[in-house]
Amino acid sequence: MDRWLNRVAVVTGASSGIGAACCKDLVAKGLVVVGLARREERLKELKDSLPADQAARFHGRKCDVSKEQEVIDTFAWIDATLGGADVLVNNAGIVRAGVGITKEGNGDDLRAILDTNVLGVSWCTREIFKSLQRRNVNDGHVLIVNSVAGHRVPNIPGFTMGMYSPSKHAITALTEVLRQEFQNSKTQTKITSISPGAVDTEIIDKAALVHFPDLPLLRSEDVADAVSYCIQTPPNVQIHELIIKPVGETI
């Protein structure tokens, strides 16, 4: 991790779960971390929980990644205040439990999922890549927290994945599109999709868990460890896709 010391990482969806775990892990490893989330008070709580030396390198900033202008303004602030970011962890994502594609009046819910899970990733990745290019930084790393549901739609009796699984399938395709675009730009910036199985976070649908009372769950820290593993790879190694399942998962 030596090459990342004091370099800037941005983590979206940083107020809880995987995002908060990534912030804690990266700042503990010597990076300057900007945590983005809608819940500003949670970011303050996260900063207050850190040791003083790490808290000094953590910056919480309110940002709804589904709002393009907020993303633009946030990355402009990062450039002006911290000199720009070199690592991006696209973690922000939402679920609308039980809202099926065929459910009447579901328009706002379906749009919200796509705006956050797909467009939010696109806005953030575009802005950090533009910054890397302007600063002639050739070794950035963009990571996207995907899902096993982005590779196969789980068939859970009496339950629908709604727009969540299609949004994550879009992320799988987006990862490859970004790899090609980075390559076409003659940069060594890496792109990685990390696809965990069920993780014990606020986003997990407790109603679905009723069907699987003994379902093993990953911890947020397990995914944060995977992020650190991916960014530590040598310059010639790119982990394109990393699927993580808890031992014993049956879905």
Active site positions, annotated:
164
Residue 24: which residues within 8 A CB-CB, separation 6 or more?
46, 50, 224
Tokens matching residue 228: 């650190």
Do residues 129 and 189 touch, judged by C-beta distance below 8 A? yes
DSSP state string for 55-84: HTTEEEEE--TTSHHHHHHHHHHHHHHHS-
8 A C-beta contact, residue 57 and residue 33: yes
Q: Answer yes or no: are the C-beta atoms of 66 and 120 closer than 8 Å.
A: yes
| Helix, strand, coil abundance in the chain, percent, nearest 5 | 45, 15, 40
Distant-in-sequence, close-in-space partners of 206: CB < 8 Å, separation ≥ 6: none
In degrees to the nearest 10, what's the CA dihedral of 34, 170, 160, 96? 30
The DSSP result for 16-65, as a single string, is SHHHHHHHHHHHHTT-EEEEEES-HHHHHHHHHTS-HHHHTTEEEEE--T
C-alpha–C-alpha distance, residues 197 and 180, integer Å: 26
